[in-house]
Amino acid sequence: STTDAGGAPTGSKTIGVSIADQKSLFYIAAADGMKAAAEEAGYTLVLESADNDATRQVNQVQNLLTQQVGVLIYTPQDATAAGAGVRLANDAGVPVVALDQKPETDDVEISTFIATDSVKAAYDVCTWMFEQMGGEGDIAVLQGPLGATAELQRTEGCKKALAENPGINAVQWESAGWDETQAFDTTQNILTAHPELKAVFGESDAMALGAAKAAQQAGRTGMVFAGIDGFPTMFTAISDGLTQATMAQQPYMMGKLAVENAIQLLEGGADLPQDQYQDAVLVTGDNVAENDPTKFYGPEAARN
Amino acid sequence: MAASPRTGAGLVCTGLTKQYGGVTVVNDIDIALVPGRVVGLVGENGAGKSTTSGMIAGLVQPDRGSMTIDGDPYEPRSPGDALKAGVVLIHQEIRMVRELTVAENIFIGRLPMRGGRVDRARMNEEAADVLARLGSRVDPRQRIDELSIAAQQEIEIARALSRKPRFVIFDEPSASLGKSETARVFDQIEALKAGGAGIVYISHRIEEITRLSDAIVCLRDGHLAARWDTGDVSREAIVRAMVGRDFTYGHGTPPEAGNRTVIEVSGLGRTGAFEGIDFAVRAGEILGVAGLVGAGRTEVVRTLAGADRATEGRIVVDGEDTVIRSPQDAIRAGIAMVPEDRKSQGLLLARDSMDNMTLPWQRHLSRRGIVTRSALTATYRRFREELDIRGQADVAVAHLSGGNQQKVLLAKWLVHQPKVLILDEPTRGVDVGAKMTIYAAIRRLAEDGVAVIVVSSELEEVLGLSHRVLVMAEGRPQGILDRADATPEAVMRLALPQHADATHI
Amino acid sequence: MTVSDPSTTAAGATAASPATIAARTVPADRREPRAWKKWAGRVPGPLVGLVVIFVLLSILSPYFLTSRNLLNIVTQISAVGIMSVGALMVIIIGGIDLSVGATLALSSMVMGYLFSYSGMPFELALVLGLAVGALIGLLNGILVTVGRLQPFIATLATMSAATGLAVFITGGNTVNGFPEWFVSLTRLSIAGIPVQGLILLAVFLLAAFWLRLRPGGRALYAIGGNEEVARLSGIPVRRTKLVVYTLAGLLAALGGLLVTSRLDSAQPTAGAADLLNVIAVVVIGGASLAGGTGSLLGTFVGLLIIGVLNNGLSLLGVSPNLQPVVLGAVIVAAVLTDRQARKAQSGER
Amino acid sequence: MTVSDPSTTAAGATAASPATIAARTVPADRREPRAWKKWAGRVPGPLVGLVVIFVLLSILSPYFLTSRNLLNIVTQISAVGIMSVGALMVIIIGGIDLSVGATLALSSMVMGYLFSYSGMPFELALVLGLAVGALIGLLNGILVTVGRLQPFIATLATMSAATGLAVFITGGNTVNGFPEWFVSLTRLSIAGIPVQGLILLAVFLLAAFWLRLRPGGRALYAIGGNEEVARLSGIPVRRTKLVVYTLAGLLAALGGLLVTSRLDSAQPTAGAADLLNVIAVVVIGGASLAGGTGSLLGTFVGLLIIGVLNNGLSLLGVSPNLQPVVLGAVIVAAVLTDRQARKAQSGER
Ligand SMILES: Nc1ncnc2c1ncn2[C@@H]1O[C@H](COP(=O)(O)OP(=O)(O)OP(=O)(O)O)[C@@H](O)[C@H]1O
Ligand SMILES: Nc1ncnc2c1ncn2[C@@H]1O[C@H](COP(=O)(O)OP(=O)(O)OP(=O)(O)O)[C@@H](O)[C@H]1O
Ligand SMILES: [Mg+2]
Ligand SMILES: [Mg+2]
């Protein structure tokens, strides 16, 4: 849709990818999906990872544009700051496929947006959790690094569910920085201060796992632990009864889709929908056996 | 008395008192800096000379007492205040900013400006000027860490002179200087005096005091022990006032050395530093090493002690060829060295005397690999007695007086008796009493069969102590004199390059 | 004060009276303040601050002083505590080790990878994981001694490299399913004390023994105080430094073992948050980054301050946004309080 | 060897062979290596390393040496570069500032909050944002001078507090929608050079003028080299330290401004990753954390090394997780290479 600047050479078979990091399995799986799709179609993929630093990510977008990529797949570290990167691409006339997050500003253009609805995912899993609790009791929420977009959206979703469940009392909000060890320590402390606690919502699987392990060690049974992500380890934990639920996202598939869209854009004549929201699947003890983790996180997920 | 001024003229201190941790180190001292006159300040190590100077120069706040300049109250709260009042202290310990140039060190705190910028050209020029007055040939643009201690001391003095001070306190300026540099400092003091400055001169070299002073003040244990209104006082009287008893200041003939050669050095050299060093020292023998500042004496002994590596030559200890590549090698071979710069090479300033003395001997003092406090304490006690080390036992050596620091440093290398003991400037900044103690200790070691090598810039010291004297110049040996032949003139003839004019020295 | 009237002495114009000479003997009152000072000097770092925090939390939270919570604190501080011991030694010799957290992660991932991906017997994987930690430490040591790099640069470089490798090795995947005995290691208690607490204690005691009583350990202080003096005193400076950095790496790997066992999971991003904590513990404990000072007792107090604070702020339900603010303020207050207290004791101004 | 005795120097020819004497005494001969040394000493830190990296990247990537890419590098390094200037000054006086990144975030958030939440005119919000940065710096300075805290502890505490406050102030929300002129600030170029590059240059030049030519700036080296001497020479040590920490805070806030403008977004988590980068830049540039040394030229070279490397690794498409590994290795290599080169030049062994 934006071709006036004419920076991208026609016929370029290079797809630039700027991704927030390559440490979290979500992004790794998305990248794996992209690589697989690009290889299949015979396109070159140049991938940059920003280590969760918005400034650095803008730098890397600059660097990708320097290399004259024909299309940019952009998974920004932060939705509100995403505009800067997209604007650079717009200025260079390179179309953008936004994955997972998209800019909140209106003055930039993206060709399509592929994402899980994080607010909805958090809302769904929290609602399920509250049902399991019979609609009443104390819970704690382990948040991601404060200020991170995923943290804000997942917090928002859970707060929405809380508003609809007046019997549920969120007695403690605490940040554990997506980290399992920190979640473990924090949960130990929360359990000490709140002996009546019935459930913990971890805004990521790692944190839910850490919380569950802390409760297990403290000899607490009958609690509910839910997360978001759908990591293979979480599947195992649900099967084992350590944790109870997760909202499994489909980064591998989303990555593939992003590349397919990108190729369409390169070859012209694409008519892509503005938003393509992917459903997150609620995985619980009831359906964990039917769900194959590789469906969500790609072939690599089978290694565990 | 002439030095007891018409009220108000000059800088007058009354009743200065200072305590540290309950100990009164300066007690009720009166002293006056009168324009055009030099007060000699003497006293044992730790008598309180530097503390007194510190109070006058705003480094140390007195607990009691008052000061006036020309009758007006003078209460320096910081060195800056003192400098503004024209009071300058040449500190006993050389204090330089190693990272800066010579000129910057001289003008630190008051760099000359032009058009809102530091005027480097003028700064270098003026620095060169002051340095030239001191007869120093140091390049003002050089960095400090390339300079010898003596050169640094000159810069310290240049720094003070360049401030055109009204009152100057020289705290042992000569301790790190050779004879000729000292002579030039004296010239400057005379010039300052003629210019109407009031001066305090502190030294352990009595002859310097008597030569320079118009009045002499003697401190003992923080008290004012004696005062003379003239510089013309006998050495014996001063020493008696300092230490409270008569003191024989002189050297007897050292006891006969043994026959067994302990260390033999042949063809020793280090590229760019020295070469062709041959000598042997027998058990019980004291070999003096004399030479002008920069003659390379320190470099030779550092190499023997493994601090630097030789590039050629042989070292034989007790008949065995010994390769010395590190201080560890040297210590293992029984060679110990008391280095010339106790602050940067000798002592851990933040630790106490006991820790310092026992530092190289932790393994020897341990039992089944465990270092016990009692073993360390016993060692410390032994040497505190033997060398008469004063000062608090548990205080960082940085707070000890210079003489006591030197004794701690000596003790450090006597804990485990070495075969060869090297002393580089062993009495730098040490009072007469302590000097005697150190000389006695050196003699005793020789009697015990240790081979001793003494490097010193005090000719009297080398000649008095040694059986034989090795004279060096420009990194090469100039000859070895027997005690009988080692007159000051003979040594100087060898130490001086042929064409130099000897009138300086 | 014998010469109390200076003018008389001045008039006397010659040598002093015999009474003056007598004044030389050390007065008895010298000993008194010194004993105090010595004692105060031995009080580890900000002990006063710790006590205040402890008392306050006991009053503010009914859960704080329960035995269960105290045991939790022990398990929460053990990994950081073990790393702090290594960091302390490095700081004593005047260095710094930025790579501890990354070393923890890499050694844990290597262990997990070898065990899970290459099917190596677990015990061997464990030993190799520790070896990797020691190796990174040794590399740091070599860069600092042979390469003469500033420790900051050298360990920054290894930190960067180890962080990358930790993710690279399994492509970001965590490793789970460690043997039962290994996982239960951090769940066991002996005589009511968690095993990891005992390991922590053992590390502290061994290190204290080395630093206080063994010649090799005591040398660290000399090296940090003045490297040249240490060298001239026959201390093998280079070798000691290599040993210290290697130990720091090994201890970071040991911390990694505990973290792995505790969660039954080796994670590439573990330890990233620990670096500043570890150094803070040591510095709050009274060590100076200039080298030459620092004690294990002080470090332990620093460790407790950080551990107790983190735990207490959680128990009190302080808003997560404000927790770091309170933490910062309390650290300053603790260090300042302690300083005041020690000054008052030692009679300094 | 410095021959301090003039008579010695006069000794043109004595007993020894002429060659040796020339080598030992004649100043002319001694000047030679020293002139070299001096020159080498002025060559900013690891310039050699930078040149090698630059040449290698030019060969390896066809995009590297394009003017567009070089301009990109300029915009990419500007915020870190501005902060590095503050960090350099703090490091020269022998301190350290861990709070730069957090200060960047907090001042940016304060500006955003005042503008967006409380409806203050943007220009005023901007000035107040800068003031917040200066204030944090001043607080650091006060803690270090009046409180006599180790800089590491003091700035760790303010870092922690500022990080928390940056999130607290808007509850973690980012602020967008800044005025157009402000956002376009970082998109404009004057004479082909991006405005932020010009700001960077201006900061470096002003700082260089102060550090090299103004007495107040020269005093920093004296304080870092030997604080006691500085004090004894009448330099207002405490005041200078306060100024330096305040400047460091202010420069961090200025960096925050640029980041905010560039992203059109004030973010509470901005700057978190910058701390180590900033210190690395200064240290790679040849400054010693012990204080007393460091130059702006060196820091600039350090900045370019980090900036060019990050850019180059991107262009070469090195796998993201291996990038930190390569980065670590290259930093070590750059610093080592430079050391070798300078040794060779200055004739040291
Ligand atoms: N900061 C300090 N803390 C504790 N004691 C101190 C301090 N400064 C000096 N002293 C003590 O005060 C006494 C006087 O020391 P001072 O340096 O004035 O002696 P001095 O006469 O200059 O000796 P020297 O001839 O060795 O230089 C010594 O016993 C010393 O240990
Ligand atoms: N520890 C050292 N490290 C580096 N250089 C040194 C050291 N000691 C001395 N030098 C340098 O070597 C030169 C040779 O002087 P050295 O000290 O060996 O002569 P010296 O005869 O002992 O004179 P001095 O009386 O100054 O000690 C000195 O000018 C000094 O610059
Ligand atoms: Mg003195
Ligand atoms: Mg010498």
Q: For residue B472, which ligand has an atom nearest its CA?
A: 2
d(CA D176, CA A104): 9
Is C117–A303 a contact, with Cβ atoms under 8 angstroms apart? yes
What pLDDT band is residue C10 in, cutting at 50, 70 and 90?
very low
Verdict on whether the full-model pTM lies above 0.90: no
- Chosen domain end from B243, B268, B295: B243
For chain A, the chains sharing at least 3 beta-carbon pairs closer than 8 angstroms are: C, D
Do B310 and B433 share a domain, yes or no?
yes
Q: Is the CB of B340 under 6 A from ligand 2?
A: yes
Model ipTM value: 0.84
* Nearest-CA distance D196 → chain A (Å): 14
Chain-chain contact of B78 with D235 (C-beta, under 8 angstroms): no
CATH number for B491: 3.40.50.300
Measured CA to CA, the distance from residue A212 to residue A61 in angstroms comes to 39
Tell whether B1 is covered by a domain.
no
Contacts of D209 in chain B (CB under 8 A): 117
The rounded distance, in Å, linking the Cα atoms of A258 and A43 is: 13
Are residues B194 and B130 both part of a single domain? yes
State the pLDDT at residue C125.
96
- For residues B169 and B289, state if they share a domain: no
User: CB pairs below 8 Å between B and D: how many?
Assistant: 150
pLDDT value at residue D342: 53
Q: Testing the interface with B: which of D2, D34, D212, D235 to mutate, by most B Cβ within 10 A?
A: D2
Question: How many angstroms separate the CA atoms of C155 and C139, rounded?
Answer: 9
Q: Is residue B383 part of a domain?
A: yes
pLDDT at residue D11 in the model: 36
Among protein residues, the one with the nearest Cα to ligand 1's atom 31 is B400
Closest CA relative to residue C132, chosen from C160, C163, C104: C104
Question: Are B382 and B239 within one domain?
Answer: no
Of B192, B208, B243, the domain-final residue: B243
R_g (Cα) of chain D, nearest Å: 23
B97, B136, B300: best to mutate for the D interface, most D CBs within 10 A: B97
Taking CB atoms and an 8 Å limit, are C233 and B327 in contact across chains?
Answer: yes
Is D223 within the bounds of a domain? yes
Q: Are residues B166 and B212 in the same domain?
A: yes
Q: Which ligand is nearest to the CA of B291?
A: 2
List C-alpha distances in Å: D318 to A97, D50, D326: 23, 19, 9
In a domain, B224, yes or no: yes
User: Is the CB of A146 less than 8 angstroms away from the CB of D176?
Assistant: no
Q: Best interface-test mutation with D: which of B87, B137, B156, B169 has the largest number of D CBs within 10 A?
A: B137
d(CA C157, CA A232): 33
Q: Which residues of chain A have pLDDT under 70?
A: 1-11, 269, 301-304
In-domain check, residue B130: yes
Sequence-ordered strand ranges (E) for B4-90: 11-20, 23-33, 38-43, 64-69, 72-73, 87-90
Task: Say what the pLDDT of residue B503 is.
Answer: 39
C61 part of a folded domain: no
Q: What is the pLDDT of residue B240?
A: 84
Statement to judge: residues B443 and B306 lie in one domain? yes
Predicted confidence band of residue C317 (pLDDT cuts 50, 70, 90): confident
User: Atom 19 of ligand 1 has which residue's CA nearest to it?
Assistant: B46
Instruction: State which of B138, B144, B148, B268 you would mutate to test the pocket of ligand 2, scoring each by most atoms of that ligand within 8 A of its C-beta.
Output: B148
Residue C348's pLDDT band (cuts 50, 70, 90): very low
Instruction: Please check whether residues B412 and B423 belong to one and the same domain.
Output: no
Q: What is the pLDDT of residue D45?
A: 56
The full length of chain C comes to 349
Is there contact between D and A if contact means ≥3 C-beta pairs under 8 Å? Answer: yes
In a domain, C263, yes or no: yes
Q: Which of B168, B170, B217, B227 is nearest to B196 (CA)?
A: B168
The helix (H) or strand (E) run that includes residue A245 is: strand A245-248
Range of the domain at D265: 70-346
Q: Is residue C44 part of a domain?
A: no
Domain with B151, as residue range(s), is 11-243
Residue D261 in domain? yes
Beta-carbon contacts of D30 under 8 Å, excluding residues fewer than 6 positions away, are: none
| D171 interfaces chain C, CB cutoff of 8 Å | yes
Q: Is the pLDDT of residue C235 over 70?
A: yes
Residue B391 in domain? yes
Cross-chain residue pair B118–D6, CB shorter than 8 Å: no
Q: Are residues B60 and B18 in the same domain?
A: yes
**Does residue B254 belong to any structural domain of this protein?**
no
Contacts of D161 in chain C (CB under 8 A): 324-325, 327-329
- Amino acid D14: pLDDT: 35
Distance C302 CA to ligand 3 centre (A): 39
Q: Is the beta carbon of B398 within 6 A of some atom in ligand 2?
A: no
* Residues of chain D contacting residue A56, judged by C-beta atoms under 8 Å apart: 273, 310
Task: Tell which wins on pLDDT, C28 or D255.
Answer: D255
Q: Ligand 1, atom 22: nearest CA belongs to which residue?
A: B50
What CATH number corresponds to the domain at position C276? 1.10.3470
Is residue C43 included in any domain, yes or no?
no
**Range 383-422 of B in CB contact (< 8 A) with C:** 392, 394, 412
Any domain includes D34: no
Rounded CA separation C119/A74 (Å): 38
Predicted confidence (pLDDT) at residue C1 exceeds the cutoff of 50: no
Give the amino acid at C111: M
Alpha-carbon distance C197 to A160, whole Å? 42
CB-CB neighbours of A163 under 10 Å: 9
Give the distance from residue C26's alpha carbon to the nearest chain A alpha carbon, in angstroms. Answer: 57
- Ligand number nearest to the C-alpha of B404: 1
End-of-domain residue from the set B383, B417, B451: B417
In this predicted model, what pLDDT tens digit does every residue of D41-81 receive, in sequence order?
455 557 888 998 899 999 998 889 998 899 889 988 999 99
* Regions in chain B scoring below 70 on pLDDT: 1-8, 245-251, 497-505
**How many angstroms separate the CA atoms of B445 and B447, rounded?**
5
Number of domains in chain C: 1
Q: Say which residue the tokens 């920076």 belong to.
A: A7
Number of domains in chain B: 3
Which residue of B30, B328, B347 is in closest CB contact with C234? B328
Please report residues of D whose CB lies closer than 8 A to that of A78. Answer: 174, 265, 267, 269
Q: Is A129 exposed, middle or buried (0-12, 13-18, 19+ CB in 10 A)?
A: buried
Is residue D231 included in any domain, yes or no? yes
Q: Give pLDDT tens digits for D300-340.
A: 999 999 999 988 988 888 887 788 888 888 888 877 766 66
- 10-residue mean pLDDT series, chain D (349 residues): 36 35 33 44 68 92 89 91 97 94 96 92 96 97 92 91 91 86 88 92 95 88 89 89 98 95 87 85 87 90 92 85 84 74 45
Are B15 and B103 in a shared domain? yes
Higher-scoring residue by pLDDT: C46, C151: C151
Residue C119 pLDDT exceeds 50: yes
Determine whether the shortest distance from the Cβ of B299 to ligand 2 is under 6 A: yes
In this model, does residue C171 exceed pLDDT 90? no
CB < 8 Å to D143, chain C: 332
Whether residue D20 and residue B79 make contact (CB cut-off 8 A), yes or no, is no
Binary contact (D167, C323; C-beta < 8 A)? no
Nearest C-alpha neighbor of B478 from the set B275, B244, B272:
B275
